[in-house]
Structure 1
Amino acid sequence: MLFTVVTAARWMAGPGSPFPVLPASPRARLVVMGLLVGAIVTAVLGPSMRRQTAGHLNPAVSIGLWLLRVFPARAVLPFVVAQLAGSVCGVALARLVWGDAAAAVGDAALAPGPGWGAPEVFLAEAGSVALMMLVVAWFGTRPALLRRLPLVIGGCVAAVIVFLGPLSGGGANPARQFGPALVSGTTGLLWVYLLAPVAGSLLAGGVWARVRPRP
């Protein structure tokens, strides 16, 4: 996913793009990126759910599913390590393939908008993940709706990118920022992008424990 994200950023916003039909405005680029990442999430999650495997690419989701008691505790750390390692490898591969063109777009590292500092970014990123995890919990307890979850989550991810992208950066995933930040060296707010989504999962787990339907 991260190789695709950096590659898309390179062709849309990097120097010397040979595709003049690609969107020129930042908002249009965010829409394209949101649809692209949302489609990847949907494509990965759908088959994985049918095979009863995990299929999530987000450390905060792994932690959240454990809090919702649908993911084993022993698998959380291996999943988180794999997700973060995949992020670094994907971005490093994109830098190897595209070189200076990838560096010119900051290796697709997230950055907050004007006037947004650590507190605002933390609240936005945590809140978006909390909402997504509550959606997962709602659909997960309703078998008739469960098959629609991949498309719904893909749509949620796309919406976060499109609407929060100009404000908080629109990550909602520690792995989304981990690789780009390390490879590009833009680690100033990395701690926020790593911890805020996890805080959102913790919040969602606490809320769901109080409101979930009782058998």
Structure 2
Amino acid sequence: MTACFEFALTTAMLFTVVTAARWMAGPGSPFAELLATPQSRLVVMGLLVGSVVTAVLGPSMRRETAGHLNPAVSIGLWLLRVFPGKAVLPFVVAQLAGSVCGVTLARLVWGDAAAAVGDAALAPGPGWGAGEVFLAEAGSMAVIMLVVAWFGTRPALLRRLPPVIGGCVAAVIVFLGPLSGGGGNPARQLGPALVSGTTGLLWVYLLAPVAGSLLAGAVWALVRRRG
């Protein structure tokens, strides 16, 4: 396991996310008319990010090189006792640094076109405040980590984990995107928020997924004791 690997993957993921947003909705995009509605863009983004997660997680599991791409996942796997505690902080720092670097790189490459789409920063839907966003983001991460725990403790199902988690991530983006923003990942929002300057609810997007992992860890510990 290496934090450098995590940094590189997270940088690439955030660059890809901003690039996709730029070409789906940015000025001069040939796809803007085809993807004219926010929901259609969320579907494409969900499929894209879900595919990235699936593609990264499969080889990473086989080579034991992690590929978490998400600080809340690293913390959650530590709580589930399948990831060493000493590696959590380096991984979290690498993921958050990769987020900022990926978005900064995208801004350098795409310039005003990336700025025009807010550097792909997440934002809640109408009527959704900090409390609602926190509950949705925490809840989605709790569900994902419980799915990880369920599949991870069943060797026969373990090989199916990458597409299942990729599908869960895609579902969060598609269904929660119009409501909470559909992040479920502190690294997904840190870089876009800092580069674009939209930091109003940044604390929610950073802390809520971690709270979800803490909840999942507590629930799974209770399940194991009662099992």
- Regarding TM over 0.5, the answer is yes
Q: 1:107 and 1:34 mapped to 2: Cα distance? A: 17
152, 175, 181: which one aligns with 2:164: 152
Deviation string 1:82-115 (CA, Å, 9 cap, x unpaired) is: 0000000000000000000000000000000000
- Segments of 4+ in structure 1 off by > 4 A? none
Equivalent residues in 2 for 1:48-87, closer than 5 Å: 48-87=60-99
Map of 1:8 onto structure 2: 20
Structure 2 counterpart of 1:10, one-letter code:
R
1:27-66 aligned within 5 A: 27-66=39-78
Match of 2:210 among 176, 198, 204: 198
- Offset at residue 18 of structure 1 (A): 2.7
Q: Name the CA distance, whole Å, in 2 between partners of 1:103 and 1:172.
A: 23
Q: Which amino acid aligns with 1:25?
A: T
C-alpha displacement of 1:155: 0.1
Structure 1 unaligned segments of length 5 or more: list them.
none
Residue in structure 2 matched with residue 24 of structure 1 by the alignment: 36
**Partner amino acid, structure 1, of 2:192:** P
Per-residue CA distance 1:112-137 (angstroms, 9 max, x = gap): 00000000000000000000000000
Q: Distance in 1 between matches of 2:149 and 2:34?
A: 37
Deviation for aligned residue 1:19: 3.6
Q: Does 1:98 align with 2:106?
A: no
Aligned to 2:224: 212
Q: What's the RMSD between the two structures over aligned residues? A: 1.2
Q: 1:142-181 maps to which residues of 2 (within 5 A)?
A: 142-181=154-193
Contact 2:149/2:220 (CA < 8 Å) preserved in 1? yes
CA distance in 2, matches of 1:116, 1:184: 21
Instruction: Say which of 152, 159, 182 aligns to 2:194.
Output: 182
Shift of 1:54: 1.1
What's the CA shift for 1:212? 2.5
String of CA shifts for 1:172-212, please: whole Å, max 9, x gaps: 00000000000000000000000000000000000000013
Return the alpha-carbon distance in structure 2 between the equivalents of residues 158 and 183 of structure 1: 24
TM-superposed CA distance for 1:22, in Å, is 3.9
Identity %: 89
Identify unmatched segments of 5+ residues in structure 2. Answer: 1-12
